[in-house]
Amino acid sequence: MTPSSGALSDYAARLGDDSLILGQRLSEWCGHAPALEVDLSVANLALDLIGQAQHFLGYAAELRGQGEDADGLAFHRDVLEFKNCLLVEQPNGDYARTIARQFLFSTYQELYLDRLSRSVDPTLAGIAQKAVKEVAYHATFAREWVVRLGDGTDESRRRMAEGLDWMWRFVDELFVVDALEEGLVANGVAVDRARLRQPWDASVSAAFAQATLDPPKPHRAVLGGRTGRHSEHLGHLLAEMQSVPRAHPGASW
């Protein structure tokens, strides 16, 4: 059975929202990173993610068939319409907390895009094939920072552990398959996220061991991003991200 274009559009928008919101968050480091080189590295990750968002949201808009484009979805939706996972909207905190978020997300996203690159939907597969190379770098970059900070000084170790502890409650949501995705998984369009949990756990545990860090203590999972129930932080992020296109609709450079 072919999926309805509504379901497919919602699915593509989720993937786009994850990348867009994390890209916007990382952009906040621009000019504030601990070193010039780190500033460039983090901005590079942000640009990769925003590029992915452009593709996923562009596809979502095309499927909606209402004459919108990626920018329309990015800049003219309100907070309840965003379906990103809660992890990516969490504030940057210090650099270690940003790295914790990046490590947990990029490790998941690399596994996810690798599977999505074999989707029966050729557009999604094409976007994933391009993006998975970028994200493989993100995952390596973040893992090395986890090891560097975890196995570093007393202070860097403490900050790394605190960052992971803060972000840990948002991990479970990455692996929850809901009704929308169940249908898309069944016909080979979407990735079965639940099956990524085991390889993700293995990969993350190996990095913790290398960083000489104990895994964070279990937290009660916080869910809701996929249904538009977000933390208060997303509204603030959108207010900043959307302010210019909303003040000057249709403006171009």
Size of the site for other proteins (CB under 8 A): 11
How far is CA 91 from each of CA 24, 27, 60, 86, rounded to the nearest angstrom?
11, 12, 26, 10
Give residues with Cβ within 8 angstroms of 59, minimum separation 6. Answer: 9, 12, 16, 123, 124, 127
**Least distance in angstroms from the C-beta of 22 to other proteins:** 17
Q: Which stretch binds other proteins (CB under 8 A): 40-48, 123-131, 181-189, 239-247?
A: 40-48
Using CB under 8 A, which of the segments 32-40, 50-58, 69-77, 210-218 binds other proteins? 32-40
Is the Cα dihedral 29, 31, 37, 40 positive or negative?
positive
Window 127-166: contact mask with other proteins (x via CB under 8 A): --------------x--x---x------------------
Candidate segments 29-37, 168-176, 221-229, 234-242, binder of other proteins by CB under 8 A = 29-37
The CA–CA distances, whole Å, from 230 to 16, 44, 54, 88, 152 equal: 16, 26, 22, 11, 34
Burial of 171 (0-12, 13-18, 19+ CB in 10 A): buried
Of 155 and 178, CB closest to other proteins: 155
Residue closer to other proteins (CB basis): 75 or 137 = 137
CB of 144 to other proteins, least distance (A): 5
The Cα 62–Cα 73 span in angstroms is 11
User: Does residue 30 touch other proteins according to CB under 8 A?
Assistant: no
Distance CA 240, CA 253 (A): 19
Find the binder of other proteins among 38, 176, 177, 222 (CB under 8 A): 38
Among the residue ranges 4-12, 18-26, 33-41, 189-197, the one whose residues contact other proteins (CB under 8 A): 33-41
Least Cβ distance, residue 44 to other proteins (angstroms): 5
Helices (H), the chain: 5-27, 36-64, 70-75, 86-89, 95-116, 122-150, 154-167, 179-186, 197-210, 232-247
Token pair listed for 113: 């895009």
Stretch of residues binding other proteins (CB under 8 A), selected from 9-17, 31-39, 62-70, 166-174: 31-39
Task: Spell out, one character per residue from 75 to 114, where the chain touches other proteins: x when CB under 8 A holds, - when not.
Answer: ----------------------------------------
Among 4, 5, 32, 34, binds other proteins (CB under 8 A): 34
Radius of gyration of the chain (CA): 18
- Residue closer to other proteins by CB (options 27, 90) is 27
Residue with tokens 């895009």: 113
Site of interaction with other proteins (CB under 8 A): 34-38, 40-41, 44, 141, 144, 148
